[in-house]
Chain A
Amino acid sequence: MQFFGGSDISPSPPAPTAPGNNAHMIYVFNRNGVCLLYKEWNRPLHTLNAQQDHKLMFGLLFSLKSLTAKMDPTSAEKGNLGVPQLPGQGCSFHSFRTNTYKLSFMETPSGIKIILVTHPKTGDLRDFLKYIYNLYVEYVVKNPLYTPGTPVSCELFNTALDQYVRSIA
């Protein structure tokens, strides 16, 4: 399956699914749980301080992934609940929806997790998340001035991401 495209950013990102999607926040974590990027566009309620918020989000997704993999009725082998899994092992959880928001998730083989919280009427955002990962690879990973494992603060990435998310919102 051709997951990651060529070295140029794919020239035509997928068209927005419906008008009026509102992106609320985005988190990007690496495999060690370091929050590489947190950006919010529309978040009326802040309940925790930033560090606890990131830890909670990472923990939530770690547990959800583990739980969905263990409950998978089609897979033959199951380890014990709570055993950490390699990225890509087990089934891949990709979104959950409540009455006020929808959370979409994508994990890459290198352990980079991208989480996007949007309006509940949003459709399937997997292609959008792939495009965001493409942006990450182009502007962050290939930036010689960026040290891997530290929070991302590359101007080009931030502006490109902002522009793209606003265009799908």
Chain B
Amino acid sequence: MGREVSESCIDSLLTEMVSSYCNRFYANKPELAARRIEAIGYQVGHQLSERYTMERPRFSDHLEAIKFICKDFWSELFKKQIDNLKTNHRGTFVLQDNRFRWLARMSLDPTAEEGVPQDPAALAESKAAQAMSMYLYFPCGIIRGALSNLGIPCAVSADISNLPACSFVVRIKA
């Protein structure tokens, strides 16, 4: 498979996708926009996992499938592996990427936190955090789609409490 696409092209496309859904199609309805973006990610993850597991045998258990996501799948998508995998052995996995590629260039506006401290600052910060979290629904959808194609229904959410590291929490439905 020798065909490649420019990374800047993908970055711009994703930015525009989130921007269209949040500002034009579902303006003022961030939950609906988030659902649509996650659904797109689900389709993409579904198809990508089909392609990247072509040569492999079936996975023996959930942990093997999650390890595939952490190593091969993540390397195909982001040219690196997941840095840290934690589990509670009861169906919850936390995948941590210390420098998530799609968030690497995002930075917040520091001047939005000056002026009157406390409440307005917290508000501005949470608006910025909300804006950034919209960009995480797509990768969450990708992980959910990939796992469901491997026969593991789950729910995926993301956590950006310390940038540029990003954690994805996968909860397998029992």
Residues on A lying within 8 angstroms of B by beta carbon are 7, 138-139, 142-145, 153-158
Contacts and interface: CB of A to CB of B under 8 A. Distances in A.
Interface string B102-119: 000111111100000000
13 contacts: A139-B105, A142-B8, A142-B11, A143-B107, A144-B18, A144-B106, A144-B135, A145-B106, A145-B109, A145-B128, A153-B111, A155-B110, A158-B110
Interface in B83-114: 105-111
Interface of B: 6-8, 11-12, 15, 18-19, 105-111, 128, 131-132, 135
Given A145-B128, A145-B132, A154 B8 contact: no
B106 A143 contact: yes
A28 B97 CA distance: 34
A114 B15 CA distance: 26
Main SS of chain B's interface residues? helix
B107 A156 contact: yes
A138 B111 CA distance: 21
Contacts of A157: 107
A151 to B, nearest CB: 9
Given A144-B15, A144-B19, A155 B108 contact: yes
Given A138-B105, A143-B106, 14 more contacts: A7-B8, A139-B105, A142-B12, A142-B105, A144-B106, A144-B135, A145-B107, A145-B108, A145-B109, A145-B132, A153-B111, A155-B107, A155-B110, A156-B107
A94 to B, nearest CB: 27
A138 B19 CA distance: 19
Contacts of B132: 145
The winner among B107, B109, B132 for most chain A CB atoms within 10 A is B107
Contacts of B11: 7, 142
B162 to A, nearest CB: 14
A139 B15 CA distance: 14
Given A144-B135, A145-B106, A7 B7 contact: yes
A158 B132 CA distance: 19
Contacts of A155: 107-110
